[in-house]
Structure 1
Amino acid sequence: MPVQFEQFDKVMSVTETDSPLRMLIVEDSEDDAMLLLRELRKGGIDPYSEMVDSEDRLRRSLREGKWDILITDHNMPGFSSFRVLELAKQYSADLPVIIVSGTIGEGVAVTAMKAGAQDYIMKDNLSRLIPAINREVREGTVRKAKRVAETTLEYMAFHDSLTGLVNRREFERRLKMALDDTHHRGGQHVLLYLDLDQFKIVNDTCGHIAGDHLLKQLATVLSKHIRSNDTLARLGGDEFGILLHGCDGFYARKVAKKLCEEVREFRFVWQKKPFAITLSIGMVLISNEYAKAKASELLSHADLACYAAKDRGRDNVQLYQSSDQDMQQRRNDMHWTSRIQQALENDNFCLWKQDIVALQPEAADGYRTEFLVRLQEENEIIPPGAFIPAAERFGLMTKIDRKVIEMAFRYLDRTGLGRERTGTFFVNLSGSSFNDPELFLYISELADRHDLNPERVCFEITETSAIANLDVTQQFISFSKTRGFKFALDDFGAGMSSFSYLKALQVDYLKVDGGFVRNLLTDPIDLGIVDACNRIGHAAGLKTVAEFVETDEIRDRLVELGLDYAQGYGISRPKPLN
């Protein structure tokens, strides 16, 4: 920390300072003390001084005053310089001590220096006193600054810089100690994992400065409701952790509910705009079940319980239970999250395709196929049903969509199919991708780079996603169709009340939900729904595609109903791109 010390290097002597030197004199002879002060004044130092002659008075002076230097005699009745050094170290570790004595021998002086004295001077030779004081005051100041810097660095290593709370690293260390206590001594402890439900709203509407103020205020609110031997930590972002020492689940739940209540009643105001904040809390009982666990596993389980609390309405407390199916699913999803991110980094996604065939002669106007994403790990091909739910839950679908678009466009460029006069290639888009403001620009630039005819590409969106984000979907489709891209509404019919939305969506194809197509030969209601979807699609000027066509009999019935295209295992099974 050289910058911090620079200011102290300029203090060449105590005579150059504006404030008087504060000197504590330990001496049982007032005459000797006066001689010492007279010598200092002759050298230009006029200190503020206090003389003490007993251990009790020395303790009080060290405890109550701030001293620049301590001058002590060696031998006093029942009181020696060695005891002075002990007390000085106890009350003020950086205070320099100089022994001024008329009886100290060389051996004793060396021992005193080893015990912490900075220097020793004989009373009959005080010429060295002023240079010694100048030197030790300067070095004492440097020592103090260094110690403060080291203390600050140590504090920063274990505390959050924004809130002053314990940080994640130190919290995990204390969790490990709690685990050891439970395993070896049967101690009872509980972990609470807290997440703010409305933090993103504050950050997005008011900025990160407001978010930081909210976190600092909440740290104060939370601190008021835990015991002094418990640990409150900021784990990162808007997440906090609490380790409740020596308590059972009943008490911990009471504490957690009280925290939810306090935060619910708390009102954060920023620039006269109030915000209501709530907490979702996950709770883990630290028991022998975790005897061989790491702190990270405890935090992971608490995180799962916290997300379960959010899923179940927010502003509540959820205990982690390994038998809970929702938590098992979320744990599986979290496992998939890291695999998906790794697959994106390592280009482990690949494309398959499934052909779509014409059912009517007038519809046979070119080749049609749908691109399907797969995850390839070594020699294993993993279908989308295994990883898509996790990707949707943890916000990774937009990245996967971009990867699929990139691979599809590259394939169409390499094969030349993207520049043919006919043919349609279907590419799926998830609902979350419509919230990506840069997706349209990304698609346009990619199409230009690969010299594609946009009319060869048809983006598929599910009916439920389109309706859930209707305004955003309309805008995206409108922009894309100006470039010539086509659109298909997938899983159509799953929400029959949404037929009216067809007027608002500029799509080219309706893909009838395969759940109705599969049973249309045996279920008259499913048959009626498929027929209705086809009629409404044609009335709107759209082409219709039946999904999940698995037998020739279903295909023949679809021909009779007048659907334009069919897709399914009875038509063509998915296969990898060449």
Structure 2
Amino acid sequence: MIDTTSPLRMLIVEDSEDDALLLLREMRKGGIAPYHELVDSEDRLTYALRRGKWDIVITDHNMPGFSSFRVLELTKKYCTDLPVIIVSGTIGEGVAVTAMKAGAQDYIMKDNLSRLIPAIDREVREGFMRQAKRVAETTLEHMAYYDSLTDLVNRREFERRLVQALEDTHNTGRQHVLLYLDLDQFKIVNDTCGHVAGDHLLKQIAGLLSHQIRSDDTLARLGGDEFGVLLRGCDILHAQKVAEKLCEEVREYRFVWQSRPFSVSLSIGMVLIDDHYNSAGELLSHADLACYAAKDRGRNNVQLYETNDVEMQQRQSDMNWTSRIQQALQNDSFCLWQQEMVALQPGSTDGYRTEFLVRLTEGDETIPPGAFIPAAERFNLMTKIDRKVIQLAFQYLDRTGLGRRETGTFFINLSGSSFNEPELFLYISQLAERYKLKPGRICFEITETSAIANLNVTQRFISAAKRRGFKFALDDFGAGMSSFSYLKALPVDYLKIDGGFVRNLLEDPIDLAIVDACNRIGHATGLKTVAEFVENDDVKSRLVELGLDYAQGYGISKPRPLD
């Protein structure tokens, strides 16, 4: 039945006031007292449809100057889902069928109004259902093309428009420009004030940017704190001005959250859309590279993608490596090699020593770490690689039983970023317990530059691990200008002297003096010293004379697969 808690809003199209009163009297007999409006011309009908919110239209068929067919046309034009019932005394069967095909929901003869109430009840309910369905469809369609937070075009729709712009460039030669925007300092707001504050910032930035572009351009949220702008029919000079204006507007904007002000800025990468490009993906990739270059060059600036830019070429190579590294982690494509060390002084009883070295396998190719580690460090993947190396090393020490012997030391490299991961030490401890390994058989290496970059964190990590029984080595020692002053602050067991000094110590007296000094300082602090990059017997013999404890390098043993 019709909801009687709110009055039915009925539009009556009728040139006879008496007939309209008969309709209303019939409805009141059925317990319905609708709010209604009576119109008798096309102009008044149009006005009523455009300004009112109606539940149903009841119309006569023949009226001076127009008919129910015109009523159906206008209703469909202005109120798509509004039901129309024809109530007439003269309509024939054929006309009625035609009217139903044209969109009328029902027709009723004026001399038999017994079906009026049931028909109104049915059609109002179905009208509501049609309207609700249309709203749901419209909402879903909007969600498919627009970002739910900012109401900007989403990435999928933006890429579609990029494809259209690219096709236009190929067909007409017109120039368009793509801007890739990244919001600097967004992580600070998100981390210190929470995601609600971050969402408010993104919405406000979206509104700020929207006012700076033309109506036929496109502003989109590409994800996270990244936005895209498609400038249609635009050359590089104009695009540069637009991009700089966007940077200026955001730089001068102050975001305030709970009385705390924050300054934000934009880094923008710019790409000219020309016929050298064949896909939206390629355009976005190059714009992203240019945006990263803007960040690397100080943030709050605009960088144009240029194919001959060395930094951008390097970043593109790194980004390609990123996907390969992530795939390798998923496919267990990393493996370990080893490189042995030898004791240089007689009487050493500490047993076998070797360093685990990570490699990446792709098909029949084995890729050395120098090819992928720089990309992994740049894109924060080293912690995942370190975990994989630790897992592979511990599995090997368990499988061979070497990790449970009384002597022998196995060196595993850790990146500086891993020391900042709170869960890493727990991961190492649990893995060692699972495989029943002796912590004293394992020595973690960290480079001197990584160690002193975040000295407090490094100290805490090493101290906790040493209490558990693990050992530590400071790698590439001597490369930093403050090596000796930092040495007392780091409770390590081994000092691995940077190979750059060791390699040429026979020809360069300064390198010889540095190696000698590092060895003496190491021994004075109770550490064992290891010379890296020992490439021949002559260098080895000189290191024996200097009193170093161990040597490692191609002149001692070349790296080889574990198995």
How many angstroms apart in 2 are the aligned matches of 1:307 and 1:470? 28
Structure 1 position 262, deviation (Å): 1.4
Letter of the 2:505 counterpart: L
Partners of 1:466 and 1:473 within 8 A in 2 = yes
User: 1:376-426 CA distances to partner (integer Å, 9 max, x unpaired)?
Assistant: 112111100111111111111111111111111111122121122221111
Partners of 1:363 and 1:565 within 8 A in 2 = no
Structure 1 position 163, deviation (Å): 1.5
Alignment-derived partner of residue 301 in structure 2: 316
Alignment-derived partner of residue 395 in structure 1: 380
Structure 1 position 77, deviation (Å): 2.6
Moved more, 227-236 or 366-375: 227-236
User: 1:449-493 CA distances to partner (integer Å, 9 max, x unpaired)?
Assistant: 111111111111000000001000000000011011111111111
How many angstroms apart in 2 are the aligned matches of 1:44 and 1:362? 110
1:165-314 superposed matches below 5 A = 165-290=152-277, 293-314=278-299
Alignment-derived partner of residue 531 in structure 2: 546
Q: Does 1:427 align with 2:415?
A: no
Structure 1 position 30, deviation (Å): 2.5
Structure 1 position 168, deviation (Å): 1.1
Alignment-derived partner of residue 49 in structure 1: 36
Q: Does 1:406 align with 2:365?
A: no
Correspondent of 2:440 among 441, 455, 463: 455
Alignment-derived partner of residue 424 in structure 2: 439
How many angstroms apart in 2 are the aligned matches of 1:434 and 1:387? 20
User: 1:95-131 CA distances to partner (integer Å, 9 max, x unpaired)?
Assistant: 1111112221111110110000111112222222222
Alignment-derived partner of residue 74 in structure 1: 61
How many angstroms apart in 1 are the aligned matches of 2:503 and 2:305? 40
Partners of 2:15 and 2:39 within 8 A in 1 = yes
Letter of the 1:505 counterpart: L
How many angstroms apart in 2 are the aligned matches of 1:460 and 1:433? 12
Alignment-derived partner of residue 109 in structure 2: 122
Structure 1 position 320, deviation (Å): 1.2
Structure 1 position 93, deviation (Å): 0.3
SS across alignment from 2:355? strand
Structure 1 position 21, deviation (Å): 1.9
How many angstroms apart in 1 are the aligned matches of 2:9 and 2:457? 72
How many angstroms apart in 1 are the aligned matches of 2:19 and 2:504? 111
Alignment-derived partner of residue 573 in structure 1: 558
Structure 1 position 502, deviation (Å): 0.5
Structure 1 position 364, deviation (Å): 5.5
How many angstroms apart in 2 are the aligned matches of 1:61 and 1:415? 88
SS across alignment from 1:459? strand
TM-score by length of 1: 0.95
Structure 1 position 519, deviation (Å): 1.4
How many angstroms apart in 2 are the aligned matches of 1:496 and 1:320? 37
Alignment-derived partner of residue 87 in structure 2: 100
Structure 1 position 330, deviation (Å): 1.2
Q: How many residues align?
A: 563
1:86-165 superposed matches below 5 A = 86-165=73-152
How many angstroms apart in 2 are the aligned matches of 1:371 and 1:320? 40
SS across alignment from 1:235? strand
User: 1:207-253 CA distances to partner (integer Å, 9 max, x unpaired)?
Assistant: 22221122122111111211222111111111111111221111211
SS across alignment from 1:51? strand
Letter of the 1:515 counterpart: G
SS across alignment from 1:181? helix
SS across alignment from 1:504? coil
Partners of 1:359 and 1:566 within 8 A in 2 = yes
Q: Does 1:333 align with 2:329?
A: no
How many angstroms apart in 2 are the aligned matches of 1:378 and 1:487? 34
Structure 1 position 271, deviation (Å): 2.1
Partners of 1:358 and 1:364 within 8 A in 2 = no
Structure 1 position 38, deviation (Å): 2.7
Moved over 3 A (4+): 362-365
Partners of 2:55 and 2:124 within 8 A in 1 = yes
How many angstroms apart in 2 are the aligned matches of 1:458 and 1:128? 91
Structure 1 position 185, deviation (Å): 1.9
Partners of 2:4 and 2:32 within 8 A in 1 = no
How many angstroms apart in 1 are the aligned matches of 2:399 and 2:285? 45
Alignment-derived partner of residue 507 in structure 1: 492
How many angstroms apart in 1 are the aligned matches of 2:372 and 2:147? 35
Letter of the 2:298 counterpart: G
TM-score by length of 2: 0.97
How many angstroms apart in 2 are the aligned matches of 1:91 and 1:84? 11
How many angstroms apart in 2 are the aligned matches of 1:402 and 1:370? 16
Partners of 2:179 and 2:271 within 8 A in 1 = yes
How many angstroms apart in 1 are the aligned matches of 2:505 and 2:450? 25
RMSD: 1.4
Letter of the 1:539 counterpart: A
User: 1:260-308 CA distances to partner (integer Å, 9 max, x unpaired)?
Assistant: 1111122222222222111111111111111xx2212211111111111
Letter of the 2:125 counterpart: R
SS across alignment from 2:338? strand
SS across alignment from 1:356? strand
How many angstroms apart in 2 are the aligned matches of 1:418 and 1:305? 48
Structure 1 position 438, deviation (Å): 0.9
How many angstroms apart in 2 are the aligned matches of 1:273 and 1:110? 69
Letter of the 1:386 counterpart: A
Alignment-derived partner of residue 474 in structure 2: 489
How many angstroms apart in 1 are the aligned matches of 2:6 and 2:393? 77
How many angstroms apart in 2 are the aligned matches of 1:277 and 1:364? 60
Alignment-derived partner of residue 3 in structure 1: none
Correspondent of 2:331 among 340, 346, 349: 346
Q: Does 1:31 align with 2:18?
A: yes
Moved more, 360-369 or 186-195: 360-369
Q: Which runs of 5+ in 2 are unaligned?
A: none
How many angstroms apart in 1 are the aligned matches of 2:388 and 2:56? 70
How many angstroms apart in 2 are the aligned matches of 1:185 and 1:131? 60
SS across alignment from 2:538? helix
